[in-house]
Each structure stands twice: as structure tokens, then as C-alpha cells.
Amino acid sequence: MATTDADTVKQERARQLADAAESLFAAGVMSHSGHANLSARLDGERLLLTPGFVRGLRPEQLAVVGFDGQVLEGELQSVSTEIIAMHSTIYKARPHVGAVIHTHSPSATAFAVANRPLPCRTEPMLRFGQAEDVPVVPWGPRGSDVSVRGMAEVLEQRPTTASVLLANHGLLVFGPDPAATAHLVVAIEESAEAEIAAAAIGGGVDFPPGAQEAVRASIARASS
């Protein structure tokens, strides 16, 4: 069978996802279990999704699934079918999002367990795309209607957030591509760690007024 453009895009995205997964382990932002799932958008309301594990992931092990939950190519462990809705909800709500990463990164998960939004008080968080606090989505069983509806509501209320904390669960981050999204996961985990450390010495302090806007303007200038 001849290789099509769509195949080339799929292979490229699969390689990017495998690289992103590896970068999360290398950065030390994974929980003890190594649990995570990563996806990238494909055309025709489809996505590439990790098969149920990420450690040692090879590009050819990724599955192609429809936004409706149907597995179109490859195989998913049964636990993964529950998380398709978590990923497809983001793609439906954010047309420009190209990749979604879910982790149980320990410090970000501490905020999720405390049901506390993570403030944006570090430069990397601003620079890598989260120039506002990370909101908390109320708990619901993973992939359930309650959880998916809660996520859709928060995404609507917060049109510029690039991440959410899933209450009593973990972190969900979305961005233009797998590498940028993985960078933001790392920046958020670092920020959560710094917040918790700062709490022991009097607590984190907000940026001075106008600082977030100034960084956003300088990023816009650098990328124009």
C-alpha cells in the first residue's frame, strides 16, 4: 500500500509523542507508578493515544482512536478506553490544541488532592503557556459523564487556560504539539513543587502588577 500524507503525519506525531513521553521521565516529573497518557490530534476527529503504558513506549505502539471512543488501529489496554473521553473533550473544546498529556506528577497532584488551584507565580509557567492559575475540575470517576461534563464546563469558563487539575486525581495539560505540551507539564510540576516549598518559608507571592502582561508581550514580540 502506498504511503499517504496522512500516514506521514501519523508517523511524525507518533514519534513526537514517544519523545515527549521519554522527556517526562528524563525530567523526573512522573509519579512512582509511571502512570500517564499522551495523545496527539489527527484529522477526521481521530487521535493517536498511548496504549495504556508510557515507559519505554515505541511510536508503533500508539493506537488510533476516534473522538467517539472507537479504536480504529492498534490496541488499547482496557483501562485506556476510559480515558479517550478525557482527551477528546479537550480536542473538541480547543480546536487549536494538537496534543494532550495527563500525568500524576507528584507536586501538581498534591494541589489536585487539596482541591486547590495552582497559582501562576513562576517565570517558566508563564513562558511555557500557563499565564494564569491552573483551575480544578471537580472529581468524577475517570472518563465518566460527570468528569467529562465538569471538564467541559471549566474549559468554557476559562478559555485561555492550557491545563487543568483533576480533583483527587492528577494533571491534564494541552498545547500545540507534544514537545510544547511536555515542557508545560514540567513547568507546572516545578511550579507546584516551588509553591509547596515556599509555603514552609512564608508562602509564595504573586508577580507584581503587570508582570504577566509584560512577559506575554515579550513572548509575542519574540515570536512575531
What residue ranges bind Zn ion (CB under 5 A)?
170
When the beta carbons of 140 and 170 are compared against Zn ion, the nearer one is: 170
Cell of 154: 471549566
Min dist. Cβ of residue 82 to Zn ion (A): 10
When the beta carbons of 100 and 126 are compared against Zn ion, the nearer one is: 100
Q: Is 56 exposed, middle or buried (0-12, 13-18, 19+ CB in 10 A)?
A: exposed
The residues near 136 (Cβ < 8 Å, ≥ 6 apart) are 111, 112, 115, 116, 117, 154, 164, 165, 166, 167
Min dist. Cβ of residue 24 to Zn ion (A): 14
Residue nearest to Zn ion (CB): 170
Let me know: does 134 contact 82? Beta carbons within 8 Å.
no
Min dist. Cβ of residue 47 to Zn ion (A): 17
Torsion of CA 152, 38, 182, 6, to 10 degrees: -100
Give dist(CA 37, CA 54) in Å, integer. 7
Min dist. Cβ of residue 131 to Zn ion (A): 25
Of 114, 111, 130, the closest CA to residue 122 belongs to 130
Give dist(CA 194, CA 124) in Å, integer. 12
When the beta carbons of 54 and 131 are compared against Zn ion, the nearer one is: 54
Min dist. Cβ of residue 109 to Zn ion (A): 9
When the beta carbons of 28 and 141 are compared against Zn ion, the nearer one is: 141
When the beta carbons of 131 and 173 are compared against Zn ion, the nearer one is: 173
